[in-house]
Amino acid sequence: MTDHLPPARSFGSVADIYDRGRPAYPREAAAWATADEPLTVLELGAGTGKLTEQLVALGHDVHATEPDAAMLDVLKTRLPDVRTSLTGAEDIPASDSSYDVVVVAQAFHWFDHERALPEIARVLKPGGHLAVIWNARDERIPWVKKLGRIIGSAPRERDSAGVLAASKHFAEAAEESFKCWQTVDQHSILDLVRSRSDVIALPEEERAAKLDAVAALYRDYGRGMDGMQLPYVTRCFRAQVVPRPADTGPLPLVHSDRDASDPASDPVGGPVAPPTDDDSGMLLIDFR
């Protein structure tokens, strides 16, 4: 499908599939990564707007950037009032000290960190911070572990704290985790698999075989068109920018003057709330 594209730029060929198949982010994770009050937020690698939607719902003044035009087109259709730029993290179209927060969801591993981290630090206001968010399937659940064996598991979120700790531009990162559940059916679980960069790159026969294996797993554990719940742990990292020589020191985050009554700030539907029972040992199938 994308024989000549680097993995980071392969998603545009499946932008609609990506949007249908990927999970949303918990509202509380977006709030922890930013703040409860409206701020100026730059989102890097925004994709189709899965996190952007939550940031807007919190009332933030969001500038969403994405290097893939097809992915950004889906975002603009979903959120036509959000300011967007077709750009990567290594060359941010913004002046110094422009944003209270920079946030990245499911894209930090694609960055050239040596170039991107100084750029992110440059556009942050004194006292501002970078937040990195990851949705990871909860493979403590037996059927989810079987899914991971078929499609692969990439715990890239574990590298985020180390990357930030090694950077001279950011202080030690704080961490927090949240649970969320994605409702999947026999169609959307295949879209989830089709949207993976490693699956996109497979030869057609290998891709078809992997999709057949996932479909068989769903038939064993799922409930047909009724769907089932795929559990995730959303891991968040938040690191304050180190003061530049010209800065007098960390200052409180500057609030945006965005009108909270603006329709663009109205809440939008969030992900399905997880069950309150936290006994993972009982969650063998996890369907509603």
pLDDT of residue 260: 42
- In this prediction, residue 264 carries a pLDDT of 44
Low-confidence ranges of the chain (pLDDT < 50): 1-5, 7-8, 249-252, 254-288
Helix (H) or strand (E) holding 17: helix 15-21
Helices (H), 196-246: 197-200, 204-221
pLDDT of residue 225: 61
Give the CA distances from residue 14 to residues 9, 19, 153, 174, 202, in Å, rounded to whole numbers and listed in that order. 11, 9, 20, 34, 14
Distance CA 74, CA 61 (A): 19
* Residue linked to tokens 């969801």: 105
Q: What is the DSSP letter of 287?
A: -
Q: Which domains does the chain have, with CATH numbers?
A: 7-136+154-181+231-245 (3.40.50.150)
pTM: 0.80
